[in-house]
A and B are shown apart, each in its own frame.
Chain A
Amino acid sequence: MAAEGRVRSQRVWGFVLIAALLVLWEVSARTWVSSNNWPPISRIVVAGAQALAAGELPQVFGSSLWRMLAGYAAGAGLGVLVGVLMGRFRLVNAALDTLVELVRPIPIPAIVPPLILLLGIDATMKIFIVAFASFFPVLVNTIAGVRSVDRVSLDVARTFHVSPARTLWRVVLPASMPFIMVGLRTSLALALIVTVIAEMIAGSEGIGYYLMTMQYAMRSGEMYAAILLLALMGYLLNLCMLGVERRVLHWFQRGS
């Protein structure tokens, strides 16, 4: 707890660092880097403020956010579920392991045509893509977490005749939480990334489409404004996750 407070106060330096980088950006854009693709921060802020005021950006972000959350919830939820089962039961693991490892390296852009065929070009497809991407980090971390659960913990549950299902829920799950949480955080950022990418494939909604259009319209100010806002959104979402993590994992992180 004290350590957490210390980190929080040190975070100030993190923001100082970011501010310094932004100043460097401003200076570089005004002096030696001259490209339409590298506008000064001040121009980005102005463009961003206008887009925000016009209600354009809030609408764009809102529509992305729900797609992202839907896909993330599905993918991460399934990741934990399948991960716990695969980590715990040999047979489930044997049945799915090969399949998972064959599917994991397939890049989404490569399977866009069949996805369109099966899921259309609208929300369903995008949500699926987000879920697909969120699934694997959670799965891999969950399996690793479940496998690292101490045998004594499991035996305690057995000797008190706790049912296997309840053991999963009350012992295996909390014990693997350090792994699961970190998988969830990895996937959260990934979900955001993939939402944007999926929106670039087709459709006229969301951050991805906005970034794409602004780039092709040579309005790099708006484009970077959206990127910075995206970063901010990711930061805030991660902060929420950290809040959850502090409650769930207080017992784990006392080493720090």
Chain B
Amino acid sequence: QQTTKLRVSTIPIIDTAPLQIARAKGFFAQEGLEVDTTPTAGGAAGLPALAAGQVQIAFSNIISIVLGAKQNLGFQIVAAGSGTGGEPPDLAGLIAKKDAKLKTGKDFEGKRVAVNTRNNIIWLYAREWVRATGGDPDKVTYLEVPFPQMIDAVRGDRVDAAFVVEPFLSAGLSADNMTLVGWPYNTVRKYIPVGQYATTKGYLEQNPVVIEKFVRAYNKGVDWANANKGSEEWSKIISEYTKLPPEKIKTLNLPPFEKTVDPAGVDAVVDLMRKNNMLEGAFDSKALLYRTATQPPR
């Protein structure tokens, strides 16, 4: 059987664990796929590379995919990546200094919150959390701070709170005088999609079988990840590509990985985007999901 080469743009974070597992455990090879993962910083170059045809599949967050699809770049979500489960902990949380006494969105009015980029998912959910907990999101200042610097920023009073992802979340919480204020993802909505694997319509039309194979193998990785989370081998694989020390990986609290994307969740995100002026005009969120994303291939 001939192997098909597939280039996938990823981000070296915990969210892409199933993909790396599927690669490490040979699930792709079993499907006759040779997957080459290309990390891109923060995923910024992932979707442009996808649109340019330099990679066939890209891991990216839902907002970017929606925005790209809106600009007729033909993105299609083929597999679920990361998201939130039915209850905390999430992969990201809102933290602040203990003595700042920040509890609800109301308390945040007039305060500064660190987000990694404005007009994107972290920012969106930070705003929605403020709204959901009784505050006015427009009365909060959002400052862009790279994730690794968020703890410094909070500690140095450059910001009042930060919406930070793992592993910085755990590290922040383990420092003294830091506390978790809330889980914005879960507070806003359960089971929301965060990261997905996308390809382009053009590639899909030509290679539907390849995509099915990819998703099938990827889903095996999801199963393995959910079953073996916390094991030695799990730590080893994760450490291999994130360079996180294995002992730190064990302490991370993770939601389960999903195999499908909830269309209602996507709808909800699109609604939130509209509400926050990120999207104008009609957008058919159903058309964004390829069938493999809602019905895992057998």
Contacts and interface: CB of A to CB of B under 8 A. Distances in A.
Chains A, B in direct contact (C-beta < 8 Å): yes
A112 B243 contact: no
B54 A116 contact: yes
Given A120-B54, A216-B147, A112 B44 contact: yes
Given A112-B44, A113-B52, A117-B48, A218 B168 contact: yes
Interface in A113-162: 113, 116-117, 120-121
B100 interface: no
B260 interface: no
Interface residues of A, number: 23
A212 interface: yes
Nearest to B40: A202
B245 A219 contact: yes
A112 B47 CA distance: 11
Contacts of A113: 48, 51-52
B242 A216 contact: yes
B149 A202 contact: no
A121 B151 contact: no
Given A213-B243, A217-B244, A37 B149 contact: yes
B48 A112 contact: yes
Contact of B41 (A117, A120, A202, A219): A202
Contact of B248 (A120, A209, A212, A218): A218
B52 A218 contact: no
Contacts, number: 77
Interface in B1-56: 9, 12-13, 37-41, 44-45, 48-49, 51-52, 54-55
Contacts of B52: 113, 116-117
B40 A37 contact: no
Contacts of A214: 243
A213 B12 CA distance: 8
B148 interface: yes
A213 B242 contact: yes
Nearest to B36: A204
Interface of B: 9, 12-13, 37-41, 44-45, 48-49, 51-52, 54-55, 147-149, 151-152, 155, 167-168, 171, 242-245, 248
28 contacts: A35-B151, A36-B151, A36-B171, A37-B148, A113-B52, A117-B51, A117-B52, A121-B9, A121-B54, A121-B55, A201-B41, A202-B9, A202-B40, A203-B38, A203-B40, A204-B12, A204-B37, A204-B38, A209-B39, A212-B41, A213-B242, A216-B12, A216-B147, A216-B242, A217-B242, A218-B167, A218-B168, A219-B243
Given A116-B48, A219-B245, 15 more contacts: A35-B155, A36-B171, A116-B49, A117-B48, A117-B52, A121-B54, A121-B55, A201-B41, A202-B38, A202-B40, A202-B45, A203-B39, A204-B39, A212-B41, A216-B13
